[in-house]
A and B are shown apart, each in its own frame.
Chain A
Amino acid sequence: MPILDQEIADLVEGRLDLDRVRELQSEAKDPDRRERVIRAWQARVPWKDTIELCLQEGLFIVKHGPQRIVMCACGHEFCEYRTNWKEHALVYERDPQDGEVYAPGNSPDADWMVLREFYCPGCAMLLDTEGVPKGYPFIFNFLPFFPDDDASR
Chain B
Amino acid sequence: MNVSPKAIPLRIDPSPLKTMLARRRAAFDKHGVYLERCPHKESNPIKFEVFYTKLSQYINNARDLAKQVAASPEMREMGESVLGLYTPEGDAVCLSPGLMVHVRTMSRAIKWMIDNDYETEVGIRPGDIFFNNDPYIGGGHAPDQQVIIPLFRDGTLIGWAGGMSHVSEVGAVEPGGMGISMKTRFHEGLYLPCTKIGENDLLRKDIEILIDRSVRASVWWLLDTRAKLAGVKLIRDAVNSLMDEYGEQYFLEVSEEYIEDTRRATVDKIRRVLYPGRYRDVGWRGVDQPELKTFLHAPVETTIRADGTLFIDTDGLSSAGTHPVQATLPLFEGILFNSLIQHVFYDTRYNEGTAMVLDYYVPAGSACNPPDIYHATALWGPAFAGGIACNQSISRAYYANGYLEEVHASNGQVNAVIAGGIDLFGRKFAGWNMEMCASGMFATAFMDGLDTAIAEFNAEGDSGDAEVWETALPLTYIGRSIRVDGGGPGRYRGGSGLYSTYLTPDVPKLELGSFGGAPIFTAPGLMGGYPAPVPTVYVVRNTNVRELISRRDPLPNAEGDPARPNVLTMVRGDAEIVKGGNYIARPIEPFSVYVQPGGDGSGFGDVLLRDPSAVKRDLDNGVISARMAGEVYGVAWDTEGNVDPDATQAKRRAIRRRRLERAIPAVDYKRRAREQLLAGELPAVAKDLYKDILNKPGRFRDEYYAFWQLPAGFEVR
Contacts and interface: CB of A to CB of B under 8 A. Distances in A.
A152 B347 CA distance: 31
A113 B667 CA distance: 21
B683 interface: yes
Interface stretch (A42-50, A62-70, A83-91): A83-91
B528 interface: yes
A76 to B, nearest CB: 12
Interface in B608-650: 608-609, 611, 625, 631-632
Interface string A108-141: 1111110101110101111111111111011111
B485 A119 contact: no
Contacts of A110: 683
Given A54-B400, A145-B277, A14 B528 contact: no
A21 B280 CA distance: 27
B446 A21 contact: yes
Contacts of A128: 527-528
- The listed residue with most A CB atoms (<10 A of its CB), out of B396, B534, B660, B707, is B534
Interface string A33-60: 1111110000000000000011111100
A148 interface: no
B388 to A, nearest CB: 12
Contacts, number: 232
Given A58-B606, A105-B562, A106-B534, A16 B446 contact: yes
Interface stretch (B42-50, B101-109, B268-276): B268-276
Given A11-B446, A29-B403, A102-B485, A134 B676 contact: yes
Contact of B404 (A12, A92, A131, A143): A12
A1 interface: no
B22 interface: no
A57 B286 CA distance: 30
Contacts of A141: 279-281, 393, 396
B683 A134 contact: yes
A125 to B, nearest CB: 5
A92 B660 CA distance: 9
A55 to B, nearest CB: 7
A101 to B, nearest CB: 6
Interface residues of B, number: 89
Taking residues whose C-beta sits less than 8 angstroms from the other chain, chain A's interface range is: 35 or more
Contact of B402 (A34, A101, A121, A125): A34
Contacts of B682: 133-135
Interface in B397-424: 399-406
Interface string B526-543: 011111011110000000
Contacts of B519: 108-109, 112
Given A90-B664, A147-B306, A102 B704 contact: no
A151 interface: no
B708 interface: yes
B437 interface: no
A108 B306 contact: no
Contact of A138 (B489, B530, B579, B666): B666
A5 interface: no
B534 A108 contact: yes
Nearest to B396: A142
Interface stretch (B123-131, B141-149, B322-330, B684-692): B684-692
Contact of A143 (B278, B489, B565): B278
A119 B447 contact: no
B40 interface: no
Contact of A31 (B272, B534, B579): B272
B667 A105 contact: no
Contact of A139 (B282, B521, B663): B282
Given A25-B406, A119-B660, A133-B686, A126 B528 contact: yes
Interface in A17-37: 18, 21, 24-26, 29, 31, 33-37
Contacts of A36: 402
B284 interface: yes
Contact of A142 (B277, B524, B625, B685): B277
Contacts of A55: 400
A88 B529 CA distance: 19
Contacts of B393: 141-142
A112 B279 contact: no
Contacts of B716: 135
Contacts of B664: 90-92
Given A91-B664, A133-B295, A133-B689, A138 B606 contact: no
A105 B676 CA distance: 27
B536 to A, nearest CB: 5
A85 to B, nearest CB: 9
A11 B402 CA distance: 10
Interface in B168-211: none
Given A103-B485, A104-B563, A25 B531 contact: no
B656 interface: yes
B666 A89 contact: yes
Contact of A113 (B405, B489, B521, B625): B521
Contacts of A111: 683-686
Contacts of A112: 286, 295, 518-520, 683, 685-686
Interface in B275-309: 275-282, 284, 286, 295, 306
Contact of A90 (B528, B657, B663, B683): B663
B660 A124 contact: yes
Interface string B687-717: 0011000000000000110011000000010
Contacts of A127: 527-528, 606
Contacts of A11: 404-405, 446
- The listed residue with most B CB atoms (<10 A of its CB), out of A37, A54, A56, A125, is A56
B539 to A, nearest CB: 14
21 contacts: A11-B446, A25-B405, A54-B400, A56-B396, A57-B528, A57-B606, A87-B667, A88-B666, A91-B664, A100-B631, A101-B489, A102-B533, A105-B577, A108-B521, A121-B660, A124-B656, A128-B528, A129-B528, A134-B686, A142-B278, A143-B279
What 7 A-B pairs are tightest by C-beta distance, nearest first? A131-B521, A37-B402, A90-B663, A124-B656, A111-B683, A137-B707, A106-B533
Given A125-B606, A141-B393, 10 more contacts: A12-B404, A14-B447, A37-B402, A108-B520, A108-B521, A117-B659, A118-B666, A119-B659, A133-B686, A139-B281
